[in-house]
């Protein structure tokens, strides 16, 4: 039987657990909707989100399983280190490429839900850093779905909800304590036309086969559409070092590589900052080692009466130490531009 109820997709990151508790507590037990949740988690950590939500919600709460049918009246949460997407009327679990530096990520869930369920989708973005979820919310809006956001002033981390509101003018924002009632109200109102619609591709790069790993083109689709997207800019993927394609969705800019890693501009900037910091610390270490080695060689040269050679090594030691001091000051006092 085709799933024709409302589909609520919720994305949260840092500070999102308490907001999810508030929403789960106030959702109506007999709400005619399925609720699917992605919370950013550490890959090696055990998630207790199912137990946390089950203690406060009148709905059944479960960890999503691959191939599980979507069902109204329950909450399903993404397992750690797995993307959770919607394909038709079923849930798909995969260890595909990271999106915005996360697995699970919010955008693949939202975009796949919008692609297959169009105006029946209710997208909700909660507390978190940076902007995962914004591209997904744009997809939900283009497909005719509803967009709700936790009020930035109510969120422990305002970046994610603030980004969604910035790119989706007119999106409604509520404190977490009120979002459950708003979701229940929307889920209780059926559209006048509830006929089963055909899959609704939500962005130019999703035409063709839907990639269940992430919300990006498959490699052959990227090659086929190079004329439309243009040649890749002089940027490389921070995860696999492949070339990145630049994709524009309204005011939002995203980047994707052949493998499927996908990042917004802000996430890419942050990843570059982290790699720059690592490179600077590596250079600092190398300079300290160079100074130490030159110092030992100078001492040995002086011990055998080679004062001219010793002075050469001492000059190299002083040069390396001076350069190391400059890097240390940069790293400790100012640091590279790391986002987030």
Q: What digits encode the pLDDT tens for the residues 301-318?
A: 999 999 999 999 999 999
Q: How far is CA 194 from CA 6, 69, 143, in A?
A: 10, 19, 14
Residue 209 has pLDDT above 80, yes or no: no
Q: Is residue 195 left, alpha or beta, with left meaning phi > 0 and alpha meaning psi from -120 to 50?
A: beta
Domain span at residue 318 reads 266-334
Which two tokens mark 314? 């001492």
Which two tokens mark 90? 């079923």
In this prediction, residue 180 carries a pLDDT of 95
Same domain, yes or no: 110 and 51: yes
Same domain, yes or no: 252 and 117: no
Same domain, yes or no: 19 and 157: yes
Same domain, yes or no: 79 and 133: yes
- With respect to residue 339, please indicate whether it lies within any of the assigned structural domains: no
Please count the structural domains in the chain.
3
Rounded CA separation 254/303 (Å): 61
Closest CA to 75 of 100, 91, 55, 54: 54
Dihedral sign computed on CA atoms, order 25, 116, 94, 157: negative
Same domain, yes or no: 222 and 141: no
Q: How far is CA 138 from the centre of its chain?
A: 15
Residue 181 has pLDDT above 90, yes or no: yes
Same domain, yes or no: 52 and 131: yes
Task: Mark which of 234, 260, 286 sits at the end of a domain.
Answer: 260
Same domain, yes or no: 145 and 294: no
Rounded CA separation 96/83 (Å): 7
Determine what percent of the chain is predicted with pLDDT higher than 90.
67
Kindly write down the DSSP assignment for every residue of 62-84, as one continuous string.
Answer: EE--TTPBP-TTEEEEPPTT-EE
Task: List active site positions.
Answer: 13, 40, 132
pLDDT grade for 231, boundaries at 50, 70 and 90: low
Closest CA to 79 of 48, 114, 33, 57: 48
Task: Mark which of 170, 187, 204 sits at the end of a domain.
Answer: 187
- With respect to residue 123, please indicate whether it lies within any of the assigned structural domains: yes
Same domain, yes or no: 21 and 119: yes
Same domain, yes or no: 23 and 155: yes
Same domain, yes or no: 27 and 151: yes
Determine what percent of the chain is predicted with pLDDT higher than 70.
84
Same domain, yes or no: 77 and 12: yes
Same domain, yes or no: 175 and 256: no
- With respect to residue 42, please indicate whether it lies within any of the assigned structural domains: yes
In this prediction, residue 332 carries a pLDDT of 82
């Amino acid at each position: 039987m085709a799933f024709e109820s409302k589909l609520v997709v919720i994305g949260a990151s840092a500070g999102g657990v308490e907001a999810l508790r508030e929403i789960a507590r106030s959702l109506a037990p007999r709400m005619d909707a399925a609720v699917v949740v992605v919370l950013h988690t550490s890959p090696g950590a055990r998630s207790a989100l199912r137990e946390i939500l089950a203690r406060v919600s009148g709905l059944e709460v479960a960890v999503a399983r691959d191939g599980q049918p979507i069902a109204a009246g329950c909450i399903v949460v993404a397992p750690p280190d797995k993307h959770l997407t919607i394909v038709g009327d079923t849930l798909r679990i995969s260890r595909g490429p990271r999106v915005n530096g996360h697995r699970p990520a919010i955008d693949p869930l939202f975009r796949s839900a919008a692609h297959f369920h169009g105006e029946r989708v209710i997208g909700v973005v909660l507390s978190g850093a940076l902007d995962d979820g914004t591209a997904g919310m744009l997809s939900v809006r283009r497909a005719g779905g509803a967009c709700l956001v936790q009020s930035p002033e109510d969120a422990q981390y305002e970046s994610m909800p603030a980004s969604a509101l910035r790119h989706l003018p007119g999106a409604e924002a509520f404190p977490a304590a009120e979002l459950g009632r708003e979701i229940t109200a929307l889920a209780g109102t059926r559209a006048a036309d509830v006929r089963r619609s055909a899959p609704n591709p939500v962005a130019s790069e999703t035409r063709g086969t839907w990639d269940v790993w992430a919300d990006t083109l498959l490699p052959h689709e990227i090659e086929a559409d190079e004329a439309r997207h243009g040649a890749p800019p002089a940027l490389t993927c921070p995860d696999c070092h492949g070339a990145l394609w630049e994709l524009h969705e309204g005011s939002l800019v995203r980047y994707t590589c052949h493998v499927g890693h996908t990042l917004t501009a802000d996430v890419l900037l942050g990843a570059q900052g982290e790699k720059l910091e690592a490179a600077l610390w590596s250079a600092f270490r190398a300079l300290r080692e160079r100074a130490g080695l030159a110092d030992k060689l100078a001492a040995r040269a002086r011990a055998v009466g080679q004062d001219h050679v010793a002075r050469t090594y001492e000059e190299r030691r002083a040069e390396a130490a001076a350069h190391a001091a400059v890097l240390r000051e940069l790293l400790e006092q100012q640091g590279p531009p790391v986002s987030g």
